[in-house]
Amino acid sequence: MDAAVKWVRECRSLCVLTGAGVSAESGVPTFRGPEGLWKRRDPVSLATPEAFAEDPKEVWEWYQWRRRKIRGCAPNAGHRALAAVEAVKPDFLLVTQNVDGLHRAAGSRRLAEIHGNIWTVRCVGCGAERYEQGDFTDLPPRCGACGGLLRPGVVWFGEMLPREASGEAMEMLSRCEVLIVAGTSAVVAPASGYAAMAKRRGARVIEVNPDETPVSGICDATFRGKSGEVLPALLG
């Protein structure tokens, strides 16, 4: 690990990409894991614009269930290490595929949530957004301003990534000297291509994952362990 620690310590620009594995260590149900099943429904079939158009109440029942599960979870040592590194790396960006808000809860502010945030809601009518941590009594919830349906502020399958968050991620990937990929299976596009993109532009790529992934072969260093244990050691 000494070489990787040196790369991180000496680099001028650092980017970190996190996936579901980081939050799973805090008890957040993974999207495709058995603990993420709700009423034996396939989550992929519910996380689509089509499902929301057909039955917004059912989609919201599922998201309210997910929000309640996440509400009982707290940031782990990996989240805290990533929040702390902001103080020593002026050119730093944390890019996350996670929607649970645990990075924010840990104190991360230089953050690009490319799949959105489950604690935000957006009106499909007027586009108004707000942060809402409590449960909704009536489902589906409606906008207080225009009466339109509110939807979870997350990216569904088939939708584009948020322009601002995606732009920040791409800009950092174009210049970072080190990219750490932690807890992601590297199968969901476009984030699955981020490691290769950074590598082509000269960055050293470090993987933190208990299992081998499609990007393992291009990484300069790989650590087979939990992010909550490896990241604090790697980031100092």
Catalytic site positions: 115
First to last CA, the chain: 11
- Give bridge partners of residue 150 from the DSSP assignment: 123
DSSP 191: G
116-123 and 150-154: which strand pairing?
antiparallel
The 10 Å Cβ neighbour count of residue 109 is 9
Cβ contacts of 153 within 8 Å, gap of 6 or more: 116, 117, 118, 119, 120, 121, 122, 129
Note whether 178 and 204 are within 8 A (CB).
yes
Q: How are beta strands 116-123 and 129-131 bridged, if at all?
A: antiparallel
Taking alpha carbons only, the member of 74, 72, 157 closest to residue 115 is 157
Residue type, 114: I
Is the bond preceding residue 141 a cis peptide, omega within 30 degrees? no
Q: Are 102 and 23 in contact, with CB atoms under 8 Å apart?
A: yes
Measured distance CA(20)–CA(35) in Å, rounded: 13
Whole-angstrom Cα distance, residue 13 to residue 20?
24
